[in-house]
Amino acid sequence: MTTRSSYLLRAGLVRNVRTGEHLTTFVVSGVSTVLITRLILGLSGYPQIGGKGLHIAHVLPGGLLMLLAIYLLLAYIGPVVRPAAALVGGVGFGLFIDEVGKFITSDNNYFYQPTAAIVYVIFVLIVLGSRYVSNRRPIDEREQLANVVDNTVEGVAGGLSRRRRAQASAQLRAVGPEVVGRPQTRALLAACPPDEVELAAPIDAAWKKLHRGFDRLATHPLAPAVAVFVLTLQALGAPVIAAGLRLGDGRLLTDFPVIGVAAGSLLSATFTIRGGFRMRARDRVRAVRLFELAVLVSLLVTQVFQFAGTQFAAVGGMTLDLVLLGLLGAEAERLRRAAAPVLVAAEEDRGDGGE
């Protein structure tokens, strides 16, 4: 029996299974562009391009790069172009958002102090919004099938390499035989001629290396102890750093960013301690989840106030949180894969018992 399509699917809004990777490429390239731009301008004395009353701000090349990314997505079909568009668009957006201080102040103040916090919050909201859209319901099998068809687009015209054929085949295996169009899609994939000529995919290669690196680090015997140590050190160190950098203001106890950093650090430390206890009780799944919550609190609360108080000096803490989140995500995924055969076996046992 077929199920009725949801409104979004009927409206043609089919999600891309690689949205997370593309969005992360966009965010990482955007944040990196902001930091590199600020570094270059600081080292060069903040020069101005133009003269005689003209000033060509870097928001203009940022807009052109975003236009190029949009053009790539509109002009070409298939999945090949999306990693490049995410990278180019992220660089363009970074150049654009770096000048947000000029857009919200009456005197066009590029050095407006809350700029760092505003930029950070914008990127956090982009990530959270994407995660909400992607995770509020699981990927439908019909969406999986649509993604397989999307992968075969380039194969119909120019053939498929072994790598891309294997990717499409893996996605097709996640689609049940009862889904309408699966046999035809499988035949279309098989009909695509072999062709090893393809565009270089450095972003895909970098993602694979990063995933393999996180997997290796997450399975190291010392990984849990190191994670607890780093999370504890960060929870204790973040308020100290914020207070030290804001000490000259003479109003430390009433300084809002310092209070916010302290509150976020306290909540993060609470999750870390609870995770440590669960780890000692050998409940690794729950412990990893609590550690992830500790890192997310640090990213979404502590680092926001850290950026507000210390501006771009908070980059180190943000980077550390992202690394920890990657490691914990890899460990959570490993635990899910390990639990999957057990769940399948339990379902089979219950089925046998009921017959």
Q: 285 near 343, Cβ under 8 Å? A: no
Query: Is there a single domain that holds both residue 193 and residue 217?
Result: no
Residue 81 lies in a domain: yes
What pLDDT is stored for residue 93 in this prediction?
95
Residue 244 lies in a domain: yes
What pLDDT is stored for residue 68 in this prediction?
96
Task: State the CATH number of the domain containing residue 331.
Answer: 1.20.120
Query: Is there a single domain that holds both residue 52 and residue 110?
Result: yes
What pLDDT is stored for residue 94 in this prediction?
93
What pLDDT is stored for residue 354 in this prediction?
45
Q: Which domain holds residue 86?
A: 15-135
SS3 sequence of the chain = CCCCCCHHHHCCCCCCCCHHHHHHHHHHHHHHHHHHHHHHHHHCCCCCCEECCEECCCHHHHHHHHHHHHHHHHHCCCCCHHHHHHHHHHHHHHHHHCCHHHHHCCCCCCCCCCHHHHHHHHHHHHHHHHHHHHHCCCCCHHHHHHHHHHHHHHHHHHCECHHHHHHHHHHHHCCCCCCCCHHHHHHHHHHCCECCCCCCCHHHHHHHHHHHHHHHHHCCCCHHHHHHHHHHHHHHHHHHHHHHHCHHHCCHHHCHHHHHHHHHHHHHHHHHHHHHHHHHCCCHHHHHHHHHHHHHHHHHHHHHHHHHHHHHHHHHHHHHHHHHHHHHHHHHHHHHHHHHHHHHHHHHHHHHHHC
Residue 2 lies in a domain: no
Query: Is there a single domain that holds both residue 223 and residue 325?
Result: yes
Domain count, the chain: 3
What pLDDT is stored for residue 51 in this prediction?
66
Q: What is the pTM of this model?
A: 0.73
Alpha-carbon span 234 to 297, nearest angstrom: 12
Domain boundary among 199, 226, 245: 199
Query: Is there a single domain that holds both residue 194 and residue 215?
Result: no
The whole-angstrom distance between residue 27's C-alpha and the CA centroid of its chain comes to: 7
Query: Is there a single domain that holds both residue 298 and residue 255?
Result: yes
What pLDDT is stored for residue 245 in this prediction?
58
Residue 239 lies in a domain: yes
pLDDT in tens, the chain (355 residues): 345 457 777 777 888 888 887 888 898 888 888 888 888 888 888 787 766 777 788 899 999 999 999 999 999 888 888 888 999 999 999 999 999 988 888 888 888 878 888 888 888 888 888 877 776 777 888 888 888 888 888 788 878 888 888 888 888 888 888 888 899 989 988 888 888 776 666 666 776 777 778 788 777 787 878 888 888 888 887 777 766 655 655 555 456 677 788 888 888 888 888 988 888 888 888 888 888 888 888 887 888 777 776 667 677 787 888 888 778 877 877 777 776 554 444 444 544 444 4
Query: Is there a single domain that holds both residue 167 and residue 118?
Result: no
Residue 349 lies in a domain: no
Residue 4 lies in a domain: no
What pLDDT is stored for residue 4 in this prediction?
46
Query: Is there a single domain that holds both residue 225 and residue 333?
Result: yes
Query: Is there a single domain that holds both residue 67 and residue 45?
Result: yes
Query: Is there a single domain that holds both residue 102 and residue 169?
Result: no
Query: Is there a single domain that holds both residue 94 and residue 148?
Result: no
Query: Is there a single domain that holds both residue 320 and residue 225?
Result: yes
What pLDDT is stored for residue 62 in this prediction?
94
Query: Is there a single domain that holds both residue 120 and residue 145?
Result: no
